[in-house]
């Protein structure tokens, strides 16, 4: 009977703990375990990452068009104010032989790519658009990224928004600095004048309102990565 | 029917031979019928699975609540009538999307490794024989349904599990494997694009993942209800491993919510023939 009472009591306690844990963040002591799992998952994901992987859908598939959500972290839509800040330029620097400072015209004169790909949001939805822009790998080549460039930080003028990437994902052929969306110039709700877009990373890794691409030997976290979302965020 | 012959009635030899029913005596006789039923590996993986599945389902529902729908932006989705309605927070775990994702992507290893250990163990140790479907199973399942619906007097004869249990316990690891497969398809829809495409694309893969979860929830809920409604004595066998055969549903002729008191077992199985 004692044993039975022990088990009854034990099962009751476990059930109570489980119910009490509902809608909670879970025990604080689990944080280090979750971090450990994330590090191990990242190692696996980077090992799985295949530069030959492609996201593609047929020409006939419908694009999301106006249903493509707009998103930014500032209180209002970030707009580049030329009167205050001068002409917008994309800086490419860090571990490179030849830092670049590109106007939108400069960018548009580079070899461009148009691709219809999915946008994978961390929330679980996807949207489809046709993106036009320059491959990050093209920019890395133009700037002469060195072997120190193991990570890339994509910085923006949307408050302090930025996200750093592993170099392999950044150099994936479907990772673009996009200035066009659905055959029009990128709109202010989608990151104008230029943004990062890639199907190999979750949406929050794709910095909008891009100002700077910094090649680095170490990672630099990111806006959402520093707030609890996975740093790797690979798809 | 042999099963009707083994059905106890007041005048049956089994009852006539039973000792003059002091509780202590009958207690001693039932203890003799306690046999080891579940190996400790099965018991351990069972309870680890309770934790792992619980974490995966509740954190998964919290992830789902970030976009409680299936349609791609700008499109419609045929087959989910509750689009836009979040799952009640009390059924979720993780607190917010990132927290739930962290739990989901950590607990998935617990579920996966535990599942692999369980399946490998029952394969190597022979328990799979009690679960693998056999040709007579559909008929036996039908007989069980008839018995549960009072369309049949006597509990069908069974082995370790009845035919309905067998089908449920056999489905569980299959659904688990499907959960892993559909989960990989929505975790890495670009790296494993062929897998995701084979499931109909990301939107459908996410839907299959959700349906598999519903299947696991359904099986688990029915399983727990039936444990308490038909065979509460089996709880002991999943904790200490021992099972009292004289209290089995077959021995008690028990239907869900209709228990018969355990009866003293016949002295020998050949009793009817002699």
A49: closest chain B residue by CA: B191
* Arithmetic mean of pLDDT, B22-51: 79
B187: closest chain A residue by CA: A235
pLDDT one-digit tens code per residue, A65-113: 999 999 999 999 999 999 999 999 999 999 999 999 999 999 999 999 9
Contact residues on chain B for A173, CB-CB shorter than 8 A: none
B77/B97 Cα distance (integer angstroms): 23
pLDDT one-digit tens code per residue, B217-271: 999 999 999 999 999 999 999 999 999 998 999 999 999 998 877 666 555 554 4
* pLDDT score recorded for residue A182: 97
- Say how many Å lie between the first and final Cα of chain B, rounded: 18
pLDDT one-digit tens code per residue, B149-207: 999 999 999 999 999 999 999 999 999 999 999 999 999 999 999 999 999 999 999 99
* pLDDT score recorded for residue B15: 39
**Angle at the Cα of B202 (from B196 to B206), degrees rounded to 5?**
105
* pLDDT score recorded for residue A15: 56
Q: For residue B17, is it within any domain?
A: no
Task: Look up residue A150 and give its DSSP letter.
Answer: -
* pLDDT score recorded for residue A27: 80
**Top-level CATH class of A36-227?**
alpha beta
User: With 50 as the cut, is the pLDDT of residue B1 above it?
Assistant: no
> CB A54 to CB B193 under 8 A?
yes
| Whole-number Cα distances in Å, A9 to A2, B80, B220 | 10, 41, 22
Predicted TM-score of the model (pTM): 0.87
User: With 60 as the cut, is the pLDDT of residue A19 above it?
Assistant: no
> CB B103 to CB A224 under 8 A?
no
Q: Which 3 state secondary structure label does DSSP give A127?
A: strand
Rg of chain B over all Cα atoms, to the nearest angstrom: 23
Chain B: closest CA distance from residue A83 (Å):
36
> CB B109 to CB A37 under 8 A?
yes
Confidence category of residue B130, pLDDT binned at 50, 70, 90: very high
> CB B106 to CB A229 under 8 A?
no
A140/A99 Cα distance (integer angstroms): 10
Mean model confidence pLDDT for chain B: 88
Chain B: closest CA distance from residue A92 (Å):
27
Distance of CA A37 to the CA centre of its chain: 20
Confidence category of residue B18, pLDDT binned at 50, 70, 90: very low
* pLDDT score recorded for residue B5: 40
* pLDDT score recorded for residue A14: 58
Chain B: closest CA distance from residue A198 (Å):
11
Chain B: closest CA distance from residue A38 (Å):
7
Q: What is the largest CA-CA distance in chain B?
A: 77
> CB B106 to CB A38 under 8 A?
yes
Domain count, chain B: 1
C-beta of residue A169 within 8 angstroms of C-beta of residue A136:
no
Confidence category of residue B14, pLDDT binned at 50, 70, 90: very low
Of B73, B89, B94, the CB nearest to A69: B73
- The encoded tokens of residue B165 equal 């249990």
DSSP per-residue string spanning chain A: -HHHHHHHHHHHHHHHHHHHTTTS---GGGHHHHHHHHHHHHHHHHHH--TT------TTSPP-GGGSPP--SSSS-----HHHH-S--EEEEESBSS-EEE-HHHHHHS--EEEEEEEE-TTS-EEEEEEEEEEHHHHHHHHTB-TT--EEEEEESSTT-EEEEEHHHHTSTT-EEEEEETTEEPPGGGTTT-EEE-TTB-GGGS-SSEEEEEEESS---BTTGGGTS-SS-B-
> CB A34 to CB B189 under 8 A?
no
Of B73, B103, B188, the CB nearest to A125: B73
* Arithmetic mean of pLDDT, A113-136: 97
Q: For residue B56, is it within any domain?
A: yes
* pLDDT score recorded for residue A95: 98
* pLDDT score recorded for residue B192: 97
* pLDDT score recorded for residue B260: 77
User: With 70 as the cut, is the pLDDT of residue B76 above it?
Assistant: yes
**B8 near A CB under 8 A:** no
Domain CATH for B59: 1.20.950
Chain B: closest CA distance from residue A206 (Å):
16
B102: closest chain A residue by CA: A34
pLDDT one-digit tens code per residue, A164-204: 999 999 999 999 999 999 999 999 999 999 999 999 999 99
Q: Which 3 state secondary structure label does DSSP give A138?
A: helix
B187/A174 Cα distance (integer angstroms): 18
Domain region containing B127: 45-220
User: With 50 as the cut, is the pLDDT of residue B273 above it?
Assistant: no
Chain B: closest CA distance from residue A57 (Å):
10
Of A53, A124, A224, the CB nearest to B63: A124
- The encoded tokens of residue A101 equal 């400072």
Confidence category of residue A6, pLDDT binned at 50, 70, 90: low
* pLDDT score recorded for residue A13: 60
The count of C-alpha atoms lying within 13 angstroms of the C-alpha of A204, restricted to the half-sphere facing its C-beta, is: 20
pLDDT one-digit tens code per residue, B24-37: 444 445 567 899 99
* Arithmetic mean of pLDDT, A134-143: 98
* pLDDT score recorded for residue B85: 97
Interface confidence (ipTM) of the complex: 0.90
* Arithmetic mean of pLDDT, A105-128: 97
**B76 near A CB under 8 A:** no
């Amino acid at each position: 009977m004692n044993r039975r009472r022990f088990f009854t009591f034990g099962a009751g306690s476990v059930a109570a703990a489980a119910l009490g844990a509902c809608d909670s963040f879970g025990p604080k002591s689990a944080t280090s375990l979750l971090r450990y799992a994330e590090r191990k998952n990242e190692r696996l994901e980077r090992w799985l990452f295949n530069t030959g992987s492609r996201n593609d859908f047929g020409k006939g598939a419908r694009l999301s068009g106006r249903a493509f959500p707009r998103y930014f972290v500032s209180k209002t839509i970030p707009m580049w104010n030329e009167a205050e800040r001068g002409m917008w330029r994309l800086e490419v620097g860090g571990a490179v032989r030849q830092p670049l400072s590109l106007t939108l015209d400069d960018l548009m004169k580079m070899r461009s790519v148009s691709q219809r790909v999915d946008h994978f949001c961390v929330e679980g939805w996807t949207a489809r658009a046709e993106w036009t822009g320059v491959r990050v790998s093209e920019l890395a080549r133009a700037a002469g990224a060195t072997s120190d460039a193991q990570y890339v930080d994509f910085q923006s003028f949307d408050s302090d928004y930025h996200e750093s990437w592993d170099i392999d994902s950044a150099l994936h052929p479907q990772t673009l600095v996009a200035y066009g969306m659905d055959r029009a110039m990128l709109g202010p709700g989608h990151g104008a004048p230029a943004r990062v877009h890639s199907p190999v990373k979750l949406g929050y890794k794709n910095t909008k309102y891009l100002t700077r691409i910094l090649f680095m030997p170490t990672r630099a976290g990111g806006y959402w990565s520093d707030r609890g979302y996975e740093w790797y965020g690979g798809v | 029917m042999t099963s009707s012959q083994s059905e106890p009635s007041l005048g049956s030899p089994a009852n006539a031979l039973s000792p003059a029913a002091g509780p202590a005596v009958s207690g001693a006789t039932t203890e003799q019928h306690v046999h080891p039923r579940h190996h400790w590996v099965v018991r351990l993986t069972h309870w680890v699975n309770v934790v792992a599945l619980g974490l995966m389902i509740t954190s998964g529902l919290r992830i789902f609540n970030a976009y409680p729908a299936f349609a791609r932006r700008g499109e419609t989705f045929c087959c989910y009538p509750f689009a836009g309605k979040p799952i009640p927070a009390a059924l979720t775990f993780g607190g917010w999307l990132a927290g739930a994702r962290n739990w989901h992507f950590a607990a998935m290893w617990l579920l996966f490794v535990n599942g692999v250990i369980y399946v490998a163990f029952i394969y190597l140790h022979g328990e799979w024989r009690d679960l693998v479907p056999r040709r007579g199973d559909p008929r036996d399942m039908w007989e069980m349904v008839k018995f549960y619906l009072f369309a049949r007097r006597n509990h069908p004869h069974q082995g370790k599990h009845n035919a309905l249990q067998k089908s449920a316990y056999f489905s569980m690891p299959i659904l688990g494997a499907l959960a892993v497969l559909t989960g990989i398809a929505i975790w890495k829809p670009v790296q494993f694009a062929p897998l995701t495409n084979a499931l109909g694309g990301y939107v459908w893969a996410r839907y299959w993942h959700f349906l598999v979860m519903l299947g696991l929830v359904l099986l688990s809920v029915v399983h727990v209800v039936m444990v308490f409604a038909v065979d509460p004595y089996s709880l002991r066998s999943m904790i200490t491993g021992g099972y009292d055969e004289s209290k089995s549903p077959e021995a008690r002729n028990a239907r869900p919510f209709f228990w018969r008191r355990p009866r003293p077992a016949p002295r020998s199985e050949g009793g009817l023939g002699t």
